[in-house]
C-alpha cells in the first residue's frame, strides 16, 4: 500500500490474480465446527467452580496441548466460551477444564452431568515457555481461578523437577472456601522440593494461614531474583501489582509471563474481539512475556 498507483500504463497491466487469493492455507476442518466430547467426570471445586473431564465421542482423540493453552467450549444451542486447559499435558487424553459459573454459558456448563456431550475447538494460543526456563527458579503467582491455567505448568514442573531450581507457588483466593484443588495443594505443600504459600483476602472459619492479597507473599518468597522466572495469572489488577512486586525484587519484565483474559469469539484471529493494542490475544497470547505487552497492558480500557 505504499506506492502511489495512479500512473496509468502501470495500473493497466496488473497481475493475473490477487496474490492473497492464490496462496491461502486451507484447514482440513471447518474452523468454526467443534468436535463432540462426553463429560467423563465432574468435580465441584468450590461453591461456584467446577472441573469437567472431557472424552471425545467416537474415534477422534484430543490434540496434545501445552500448559497455558485454551479451548473453546460449546454448549449445544447456548453458546461458546474460551476456557483454559487445567489438566496434565502428559495426559492429553484426560482433558480437564476448570470453570467458574459467572455467565450464561458457564452457568449452563455448571449443570453438566456425566454422560452429557459438549463441543470443543482447540487447543489455541501460546503457552508458558517451560522448556526454555530450565535451570531457573520458577515463581508461580496465581489469583483465584487464575490457578487453573497454571496447574498444567505445575504438573509439568513436578514431572521435570530436576531440570529446575526452586519451584515456588504463591496462591491467593478470596476466602479459604474459594481455594481450588485443595487436596492437591496440600500434597504439593508436603513435598520437600516445592514451596507452596497460600493466602486469603478474608479469613473465615478456622483458617490459621496467611491473610492478605497474593502480592504480599512476593517480598518474602524464597527465590533468587536474578535467576528467577515468574508465571502469573489472575485478575488484571492483581497481575499489575504482582509485576510491580516482582520488579521490586529484581525479576524484570523479560523474565515475567502473564496470561490475559479478553473477549474471544473465534479463537483463530479473525473476529477482532480479543485485541490488546497490536496483539491478537487468541493467537499472540493468552501467555505473553511482560516486556512484549508493557506499553499496553494495564493501561485503562486498552
Binding site for other proteins (CB under 8 A): 1-9, 11-18, 20-21, 23-27, 30-33, 36, 38, 57-58, 74, 76-80, 100, 102-103, 116-119, 235-236, 261-263, 265-266, 268-273, 275, 277-278, 280, 283, 295-296, 299-302
CB of 84 to other proteins, least distance (A): 12
H or E stretch at 247: helix 236-249
Judged by beta carbon, residue 115 or residue 135, the one nearer other proteins is 115
Judged by beta carbon, residue 202 or residue 273, the one nearer other proteins is 273
Judged by beta carbon, residue 240 or residue 262, the one nearer other proteins is 262
> Helices 151-159 & 182-189, crossing angle to 10 degrees?
30
**E runs forming strands in 159-216:** 167-173, 195-200, 210-211
CB of 33 to other proteins, least distance (A): 6
H or E stretch at 55: strand 49-56
CB of 72 to other proteins, least distance (A): 9
CB of 142 to other proteins, least distance (A): 16
Contact present, 124 and 253 (Cβ < 8 Å): no
> Which grid coordinates belong to 42?
465432574
> Which grid coordinates belong to 57?
465421542
CB of 117 to other proteins, least distance (A): 3
Rounded CA gap, 254 and 52, in Å?
Answer: 34
Judged by beta carbon, residue 75 or residue 245, the one nearer other proteins is 75
Judged by beta carbon, residue 223 or residue 241, the one nearer other proteins is 241
CB of 253 to other proteins, least distance (A): 17
178, 179, 180, 186: CA torsion to nearest 10 = -160
Rounded CA gap, 261 and 174, in Å?
Answer: 19
CB of 24 to other proteins, least distance (A): 4
* 271, 281, 291, 293, 296 from 278: Cα distances, Å: 14, 9, 14, 9, 9
> In terms of Cα–Cα distance, which of 202, 228, 250, 69 is closest to 140?
228
Count of residues making up the chain: 302
CB of 140 to other proteins, least distance (A): 21
Judged by beta carbon, residue 17 or residue 132, the one nearer other proteins is 17
H or E stretch at 95: strand 95-100
Judged by beta carbon, residue 63 or residue 90, the one nearer other proteins is 63
Judged by beta carbon, residue 120 or residue 133, the one nearer other proteins is 120
Rounded CA gap, 195 and 221, in Å?
Answer: 9
Q: Where are the alpha helices (DSSP H) in 83-224?
A: 104-110, 151-159, 182-189
Largest CA distance in the chain: 84
Amino acid at each position: 500500500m505504499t506506492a502511489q498507483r495512479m500512473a496509468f500504463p502501470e495500473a493497466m497491466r496488473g497481475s493475473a490474480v490477487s496474490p492473497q487469493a492464490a496462496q491461502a492455507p486451507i484447514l482440513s476442518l471447518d474452523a468454526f465446527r467443534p468436535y463432540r466430547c462426553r463429560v467423563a467426570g465432574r468435580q465441584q471445586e468450590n461453591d461456584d467452580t467446577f472441573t469437567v473431564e472431557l472424552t471425545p465421542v467416537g474415534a477422534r482423540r484430543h490434540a496434545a496441548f501445552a500448559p497455558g493453552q485454551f479451548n473453546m467450549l460449546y454448549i449445544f444451542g447456548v453458546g461458546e466460551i474460551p476456557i483454559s486447559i487445567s489438566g496434565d499435558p502428559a495426559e492429553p487424553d484426560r482433558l480437564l477444564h476448570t470453570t467458574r459459573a459467572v455467565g450464561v454459558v458457564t452457568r449452563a456448563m455448571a449443570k453438566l452431568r456425566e454422560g452429557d456431550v459438549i463441543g470443543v475447538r482447540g487447543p489455541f494460543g501460546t503457552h508458558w515457555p517451560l522448556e526454555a526456563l530450565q535451570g531457573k527458579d520458577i515463581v508461580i503467582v496465581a489469583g483465584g481461578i487464575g490457578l487453573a491455567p497454571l496447574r498444567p505448568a505445575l504438573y509439568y514442573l513436578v514431572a521435570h523437577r530436576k531440570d529446575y531450581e526452586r519451584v515456588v507457588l504463591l496462591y491467593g483466593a478470596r476466602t479459604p472456601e474459594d481455594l481450588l484443588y485443595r487436596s492437591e495443594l496440600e500434597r504439593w505443600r508436603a513435598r520437600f522440593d516445592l514451596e507452596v504459600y497460600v493466602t486469603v483476602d478474608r479469613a473465615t472459619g478456622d483458617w490459621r494461614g496467611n491473610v492478605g492479597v497474593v502480592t504480599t507473599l512476593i517480598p518474602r518468597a524464597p527465590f533468587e531474583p536474578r535467576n528467577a522466572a515468574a508465571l502469573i495469572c489472575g485478575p488484571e489488577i492483581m497481575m499489575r501489582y504482582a509485576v510491580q512486586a516482582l520488579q521490586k525484587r529484581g525479576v524484570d519484565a523479560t523474565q515475567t509471563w502473564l496470561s490475559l483474559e479478553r473477549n474471544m469469539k473465534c479463537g483463530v484471529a479473525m473476529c477482532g474481539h480479543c485485541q490488546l493494542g497490536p496483539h491478537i490475544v487468541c493467537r499472540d497470547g493468552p501467555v505473553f512475556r511482560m516486556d512484549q505487552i508493557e506499553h499496553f497492558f494495564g493501561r485503562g480500557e486498552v
